[in-house]
Amino acid sequence: MVLRRVTLHQLRLLAALGQHMNMTRAAEGMHMTPSAFSIQIKQLADALGAPLHEQAGKKLFLTEAGHAGARAAREILARLDMLGQELAEMRGLERGELRLAMITTARYFATRLIGDFCRLHPGIELIMEVVNRDQMLERLAQNRDDLYIMGRIPKDMEVEAFAIAENPLVVVAAPDHPLCAARAIPPKSLENEPFLLREPGSGTRQAAERFFARNGIRPPARMTLGSDETIKQAAAAGLGLAILSRHVLTLELAGGLLRELDVQGFPIVGQWNVAHLKAKRLPPAATAFLEMLKRAQA
């Protein structure tokens, strides 16, 4: 069979479908409408001469041909990425691309480093994704990017990591909160204080829960919110205390919208890391970015 009508775009769509196993989510990931995505998958199935997926209730499953096609699509796209890296190496750093993913909180300090790199290498195209921790781990496992800026390094993956900055977590409250005037606040004093928390699985949420467990307290969780910006606004409105990275609080603390509380055991100082899979062959742009970060720490 000669597959003349198969396009790279269709292969990317099939790889996305194999990743998400959901037509709507795969379409969203490719910035397409579900109907347009479905039409392309149907055309690919016609070109391959076999159905690629089937529906059982609300669940989508790839057929045997679908699995084979998705596997081939990943291999072809990976080989094209390698070709791009090889060509970039031939050209040096005058051209090329850097695929970078970072945890949402990291963008408050990492954008300055990225700006420095872009000024040094204006010919490099930066492709950047800002995601939550679960999405970060998924991207890392699938080797979808060159480098990842994150807090805690997963222990169940073969990852090489380098610490690039401290990440101090602090407790903040609205400026009229009674605890703002207190000093050396014992953790037990937070027992009945409502907290505004990040979503389960986030590094900040996990650090907060470890602190609560160490000190034998279970403060009420008033709200679970999906972004630092929303938590800052809710805390400034007096809806509860929050544990956030000091990196995200520069403007609010300077402007008096929030106050950092003097709680015993805080700040909790973690590390920001840049990481990649050990088996990853880094393209020249990623190697140059990593070297720039290392020089900055020297």
- Taking only the tens place, the pLDDT of each residue in 250-264 is 889 999 999 999 999
Least confident of 70-84, 178-192, 241-255: 70-84
Residue 89 has pLDDT above 80, yes or no: no
Task: Give the span between the Cα atoms of 73 and 12, in whole angstroms.
Answer: 7
**Sequence-separated (6 or more) residues with CB below 8 Å from residue 244:** 105, 169, 170, 172, 204, 228, 231, 232
Per-residue pLDDT, averaged over 134-157, amounts to 91
Residue 296's H or E segment, with its range, is helix 284-297
Confidence at residue 79, expressed as pLDDT on a 0 to 100 scale? 85
Residue 16 has pLDDT above 70, yes or no: yes
Strand 241-245 and strand 195-198: the pairing is parallel
Q: Which residue has the higher pLDDT, 81 or 3?
A: 81
Confidence at residue 93, expressed as pLDDT on a 0 to 100 scale? 60
Residue 111 has pLDDT above 90, yes or no: no
Residue 125 has pLDDT above 80, yes or no: yes
Confidence at residue 56, expressed as pLDDT on a 0 to 100 scale? 87
- Kindly list the structural domains of the chain, giving each domain's residue range(s) and its CATH number in brackets, ordered by start: 8-77 (1.10.10.10), 94-164+272-297 (3.40.190.10), 166-268 (3.40.190.10)
Per-residue pLDDT, averaged over 187-216, amounts to 91
**Sequence-separated (6 or more) residues with CB below 8 Å from residue 169:** 204, 207, 208, 243, 244, 245, 246, 266, 267, 268, 269, 270
Torsion 172-178-180-183 (CA) sign: negative
Q: Which residue has the higher pLDDT, 84 or 134?
A: 134
Least confident of 26-30, 130-134, 221-225: 221-225
Q: Which residue has the higher pLDDT, 60 or 202?
A: 60
Output the average pLDDT for the chain: 89
φ, ψ at 183 (rounded to 5°) = -125, 145
Confidence at residue 187, expressed as pLDDT on a 0 to 100 scale? 95
Confidence at residue 190, expressed as pLDDT on a 0 to 100 scale? 94
**Sequence-separated (6 or more) residues with CB below 8 Å from residue 230:** none
Q: Is the peptide bond before 187 cis (omega within 30 degrees of 0)?
A: no
- Side chain identity, residue 192: N
What pLDDT digit, counting tens, does each position of 272-298 carry?
999 999 988 888 888 889 888 887 765
Q: What pLDDT band is residue 73 in, cutting at 50, 70 and 90?
A: very high
Task: Give the span between the Cα atoms of 215 and 212, in whole angstroms.
Answer: 5
Confidence at residue 214, expressed as pLDDT on a 0 to 100 scale? 94
Q: What pLDDT band is residue 105 in, cutting at 50, 70 and 90?
A: confident
- Tokens linked to 251: 């403007």
Confidence at residue 92, expressed as pLDDT on a 0 to 100 scale? 60
Residue 2 has pLDDT above 60, yes or no: no
Catalogue the E-assigned strands of 85-158.
96-103, 124-131, 147-150
Strand 147-150 and strand 268-277: the pairing is antiparallel
